[in-house]
Amino acid sequence: MKFKNKNHQALFTHESNKLNRHDNVRMAVLYLLTADVRLWNASKHHIRKGSIDLDSIRIKNTNLKAYTLLCVAKDIACDTCYLSLHDLADTDIITAKMFGTITTAIGIRRYGLDRNKRINEKENENA
């Protein structure tokens, strides 16, 4: 899997072991929430008994990145439409690195952790 950095990877790995790693939606949401330190600090207290209460997460004095990642997490988990395809294509809103984070989360949601990992390994072999 592609991670923002080693801190993101370590945090996601540690926290994912506390949840059902076969729940693709929760893993995708957790992946997004752990991708930004401010977002994670606002989110970590809303993960209880294997569930993530996205509606209770309030991010104060935040940047656009944390807000965008939270919106994508809600879109994945709650079938909302905070971000449009137009937003995803806008490089002023979504940087290339953030786009990679979002597409990885979509891959986790669609294929799960194990299959997404294998897909990324095959992409790296073919590159």
pLDDT, tens only, 89-126 = 999 989 999 999 999 999 999 999 987 665 556 565 66
Residue 18 forms part of a structural domain = yes
pTM of the model: 0.88
pLDDT at residue 31 tops 60: yes
> What pLDDT shows up at residue 29?
97
SS3 of 97-110: HHHHHHHHHHHHHH
Cα angle 22-79-77, degrees, rounded to a multiple of 5: 35
Q: Which domain holds residue 99?
A: 6-126
Helix (H, G, I), strand (E, B) or coil at 81: coil
Residue 75 forms part of a structural domain = yes
pLDDT: is 116 or 83 the higher one?
Answer: 83
For strands 47-48 and 51-52, give the pairing.
Answer: antiparallel
Q: How many domains does the chain have?
A: 1
21-26 contact pairs (CB < 8 A, 24+): 21/113, 22/112, 24/108, 24/109, 24/110, 24/111, 24/112, 24/113, 25/76, 25/77, 25/109, 26/50, 26/51, 26/52, 26/77
Residue 1 forms part of a structural domain = no
Residue 32 forms part of a structural domain = yes
